[in-house]
């Protein structure tokens, strides 16, 4: 088996300096404006069942604090790992479920299970912990935490994750500019074409999207650019 080795740019000092310069250019654009999500919080960093003591059904003690640190809420607050689902939200089985092949039924069951868990968690979090809900819904949250993490570890680990993250951020900004300047005109032209029946669902989605927040616009922009072969 070939032994793992670092990338070629890992030992190049100038490559690290160049990426750090690009990181400093974009980080200010990703930081949220809301002071409450930038407030410092104490983080355990190794919180799992082995480090928890429970008494009478409640957590009574937390151990193993040697790796704790204080950092902005936006960088660390995340949903539970088993809720890391980005697929289609489906809260009930479709009417044609019984007629589906076995493999399709298993796939649909998984979507419904994950969707219900995500919906329940987000709904309860919004009521019990509005600040966490605000962080979880922030459009740049995961991207921001990734680029900060990779920038702090590029020399000790590898330069490639930071480089890849910065490339994705650049594409993100490019799509935003493209979306604002050209994509609406392209979609409008498609929506007024001869095949209006086929375009109505997309046109209806777009009309709703124009009234929505920028983060939601970005998600559809990525989808549309994929349809048109722009990505």
Domain ranges of the chain: 33-76
How does pLDDT run across 87-122, given as a tens digit for each residue?
Answer: 778 889 999 999 999 999 999 999 999 889 888 888
Q: What is the mean pLDDT of the chain?
A: 75
Contact present, 51 and 69 (Cβ < 8 Å): no
How far apart are alpha carbons 51 and 48 in whole angstroms? Answer: 6
What is the pTM (predicted TM-score) of this model? 0.57
CA nearest neighbour of 75 among 118, 120, 42: 42
Local confidence band at 10 (pLDDT 50, 70, 90 cut-offs): confident
Percent of the chain with pLDDT over 70: 71
Measure CA of the first residue to CA of the last residue in the chain; give whole Å: 35
């Amino acid at each position: 088996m070939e032994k793992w080795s670092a990338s070629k740019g890992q030992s190049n000092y100038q490559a690290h300096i160049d990426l750090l310069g690009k990181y400093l250019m974009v980080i200010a654009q990703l930081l949220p404006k809301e002071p409450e999500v930038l407030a410092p919080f104490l983080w355990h960093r190794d919180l799992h069942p082995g480090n928890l003591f429970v008494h009478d059904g409640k957590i009574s003690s937390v151990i193993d604090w040697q790796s704790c640190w204080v950092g902005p809420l936006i960088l660390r607050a995340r949903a539970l790992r088993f809720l890391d689902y980005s697929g289609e939200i489906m809260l009930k089985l479709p009417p044609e479920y019984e007629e589906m092949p076995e493999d399709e039924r298993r796939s649909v069951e998984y979507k419904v299970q994950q969707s219900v868990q995500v919906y329940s968690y987000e709904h309860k979090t919004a009521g019990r912990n509005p600040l966490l809900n605000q962080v979880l819904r922030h459009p740049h949250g995961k991207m921001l935490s990734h680029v900060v993490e990779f920038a702090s570890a590029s020399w000790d680990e590898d330069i490639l994750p930071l480089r890849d993250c910065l490339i994705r951020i650049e594409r993100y900004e490019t799509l935003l500019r493209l979306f604002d300047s050209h994509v609406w005109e392209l979609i409008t032209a498609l929506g007024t074409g001869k095949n209006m029946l086929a375009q109505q669902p997309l046109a209806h989605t777009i009309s709703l999207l124009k009234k929505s927040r920028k983060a939601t616009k970005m998600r559809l922009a990525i989808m549309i650019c994929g349809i048109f072969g722009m990505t």
